[in-house]
A and B are shown apart, each in its own frame.
Chain A
Amino acid sequence: MEYILEVNNVSKKYDTFALKDVSFKLPKGMIMGFIGENGAGKTTTIKIILDIIKTYEGNIKIFGQDKNTELNKDIGVVLDDAFFPEILTPKDIDIIMQDIYENWDSKLYNDYLNKFNLQNKPIKTFSKGMRKKLEIITALSHHPKLLILDEPTSGLDPVGRSEIIDIFQDFIQNEDCSILFSTHITTDLEHIADYITFINNGEIVLSKTSDEILNNFGIVKCSEKEFKKVDKKDYLKYRLNACDYELLVENKKDFKKKYDFKIIDKITLDELMVMMIKGE
């Protein structure tokens, strides 16, 4: 399999937080959802990939090459809280980007501006959602091969989120392109992400295909008596609710074969996150 992005054993220490041995691989033509609670290390990882943070241990390959600034021309970026100064207008960004990216597509950019009804006014007059849309279409308009998006849908209403998700799906139609999409709004990912990488407290907890997670993982609901019968190695985490136990299992079918429990639910990414973080 050809990988567009390879993050290998990346570590970075701060006084109060550390990324520990972060590794994952994003294949060509795929969308990877990068999930985790606030402060889990998503933005730090993305900043390391994008060279905003320079000192770290480990190795990062983009398009099969060791990370270097020359590769930036084929990467589209949306950062959580960094963009053009708000005194500028969308038209200014068009003028500027024509001389920054060789592949800048002014027509595509202006089509997007019209589609999202973004007028040529200083960015400071835009709502948070409009700014986010402008950041996203700016990231898309030089035909990048890799999109790296840090919380791209935060601040967007459900309609805006749906419009943006549609654009990402169009973008991925080109099988040479990939998206790394960090978010804590996991419902955005369930329909579009091919891979899910889950980071918690600076460590990668799992990195698998969405199908593997959504089809195999499950939530078992049982009584205390039933819970005591379950072998510890047959579940990943458990939680005690008001009157029952919830168990996160990695393979629903195997669990069903071994134990005769009635309630084994399909898992959502939200439930997975909560169980992984809050479960024991």
Chain B
Amino acid sequence: MLGFIKKELLMIKGNFKSIWLILIIYLLIGIFNKMDVSFILPFICTVIMISTFSYDNLNSWDAYAFTLPNGRKNLVKSKYLVTILTILFFSILSIPLSILITHLNNLPVNYLEILVTLFGAIFGTLFIISIMYPIIYKLGIEKARITIFVIIFGIAIVGAILIQFVNFEFIPNIISTLSNYLIPILIIILILSVLISYFISLKIVSKKEY
């Protein structure tokens, strides 16, 4: 298992040049737009992890991994674990960067806002990944890219239509009613979605053939 985790980390390390570039662009956007862009960083993890799937696919790593001890299980487990670790790492990294950007823009630092934004970003990223990974394992990265694009595009269209015809004023009321429980509820939803996603991926990979 540790070997598989190291493989994922070494692949991210191998891509470090492009990660630095993303970080610099991210800092520049924050400075020039005078805005807090800390929410972007966890989302960058999605891009980084998707690129590891592309490299895996290019060299048929999954088929090779099946021949290693406990290959199928460790393949999925390590991908989810490293994804969570990477999101947490970039989330923690984005706290000082957000503070730095705020200082550089001569704005007052609002710690609560930074943390809330970050939590929202972590929630969003992990939720997206929970949907994406089983699709990637089922269809392969190339077909999954198109499928995920169609799903996101579909959600956006449905959302846009709903906004036109449905009155969403009740949502702030629901949020304020649940305000005391909102964070725990979101955390439970998040953990459940990641766990369900993991077990679905594991089932797909345990039957996968190349």
Contact = CB atoms under 8 A, between A and B. Distances in A.
Co-assembled chains A and B: yes
28 contacts: A47-B209, A47-B210, A50-B66, A51-B66, A52-B210, A53-B210, A54-B209, A72-B67, A75-B67, A79-B64, A82-B59, A82-B62, A82-B63, A82-B210, A83-B59, A84-B61, A85-B56, A85-B61, A86-B55, A87-B11, A87-B55, A92-B10, A96-B6, A99-B1, A99-B2, A99-B6, A100-B3, A101-B69
Interface of B: 1-4, 6-7, 10-11, 14-15, 52, 55-56, 58-64, 66-72, 207, 209-210
Contacts of A70: 69
A70 to B, nearest CB: 7
Main secondary structure of the interface of A (DSSP, over half): loop
A72 B73 CA distance: 13
Main secondary structure of the interface of B (DSSP, over half): helix
A83 B14 contact: no
Interface in A194-246: none
Nearest to B73: A69
Contacts of B62: 82
B64 A83 contact: yes
Nearest to A135: B64
A82 B68 CA distance: 12
A25 B171 CA distance: 68
A72 B68 CA distance: 6
B60 A69 contact: no
Given A82-B59, A96-B3, A96-B10, A73 B207 contact: no
A70 B71 CA distance: 10
B63 to A, nearest CB: 4
Nearest to B5: A99
B11 A100 contact: no
Contacts of A96: 3-4, 6-7, 10
Contact of B61 (A69, A77, A83, A99): A83
A81 interface: yes
Contacts of B52: 85
